[in-house]
Amino acid sequence: MNATKLPAAGPPTIVGVSKAIRDVLRIVDQVAPSDCCVLIEGESGTGKELIARRLCAKSGRCHKPFIPVNCAGISETLFESQFFGHVRGAFTGAEQSMLGVIRTADGGTVFLDEICDIPLCLQPKLLRVLQEQEVMPVGKPIPIKVDTRFLAGTNRNLAEMVRQGRFRRDLYHRLNIVRIVLPPLRDRPEDVPVLLDHFAQHYADHYGREPVLLSDAVSSLLLKYHWPGNIRELAAWVERLYVTGLSPETLVDMLFGESDEVPAEVSPDGLTLEQAERQAIVHAMQRSNFNQRKAARMLHVHRATLARKLKRHRLV
């Protein structure tokens, strides 16, 4: 009887118009059909797993399992069991046999997420699997051949970790057949508007609401924001629009308030944004007869946000 194939998942949507992201996707699509290891480097939130899923979806392994593994959560004592599997009775608590991640993904792809966090003492065992394409289940030390492609992701510079002696050089070179570096969102601001539109439509559909329109002023501020959490942070900000009911103006104010980041923007009157903000707060306080609740409503911000800004501008 022929094995039933899994339905092939289409490549995930990766949004962007910048040259940086187009260059990344060109490399991804070029190497996807091969079986080589690919090392994906990028800050948290830049979409490393999305890239790994695209590599799988555009390969001949698209009908087979794609299994992401969080290397930071690997138990040193259970590493071999988790990765290579075990037979029943191999150790206390092994009440039934288990294939392990690599054999479960046989014919498919394993994505080693945050490979930088794998303990140094376990790296030789992983290296052997990558080189020999075979595993030895715990309790049955007989090599079993596997056909698995390995992709790895890291939010740290592995080459630097090698120089520091915190990552094995031989494992690094085995993983680094093709290296893909995902640029942070702050380095490709031209992608912010299209990402905002993409997630606005996504969450409008998800929550059954009309898309929220952003004013030019809000859009301008979002373009100047640093986005330390990258695309994940941007997506969370957009989702907040649909679940809180707060205005975009309020949420962008909270965004900058949480990060204490002030964009270098100049108002038409020649004031910096921070100076213009202080002036707006002073006017609102005067018009509300120094009632913070009323002033906050005039400024379309939370009272707590206004209180924090009053302190920051030394107005109380």
- pLDDT tens per residue across span 91-117: 656 567 677 888 899 999 999 999 999
- pLDDT tens per residue across span 168-226: 999 999 999 999 999 999 999 999 999 999 999 999 999 999 989 999 889 999 998 99
* Alpha-carbon distance values, 137 to 76, 87, 142, 143 (Å): 16, 7, 7, 8
Last residue of a domain, one of 148, 166, 183: 183
Q: What is the C-alpha separation between 75 and 15, in angstroms, rounded?
A: 35
Closest CA to 100 of 112, 113, 82, 88: 82
Q: Give the pLDDT means over successive 10-residue stretches in the chain (316 positions).
A: 46 90 96 96 96 96 94 80 70 67 92 93 91 83 89 96 96 97 95 96 94 90 92 96 88 75 46 69 78 84 83 76
CATH number at residue 84: 3.40.50.300
In a domain, 5, yes or no: no
At residue 66, what are phi and psi to the nearest 5 degrees? -115, 115
Last residue of a domain, one of 220, 247, 263: 263
pTM as predicted = 0.78
DSSP 108: S
In a domain, 105, yes or no: yes
In a domain, 4, yes or no: no
Query: Do residues 157 and 229 both lie within one domain?
Result: no
Query: Do residues 58 and 162 both lie within one domain?
Result: yes
Query: Do residues 153 and 73 both lie within one domain?
Result: yes
In a domain, 207, yes or no: yes
Query: Do residues 241 and 171 both lie within one domain?
Result: no
Which residues constitute the domain of residue 155?
Answer: 19-183
Domain count, the chain: 3
What pLDDT shows up at residue 293?
Answer: 87
Q: What is the C-alpha separation between 33 and 61, in angstroms, rounded?
A: 9
Q: What is the C-alpha separation between 290 and 288, in angstroms, rounded?
A: 5
Q: What is the C-alpha separation between 245 and 267, in angstroms, rounded?
A: 28
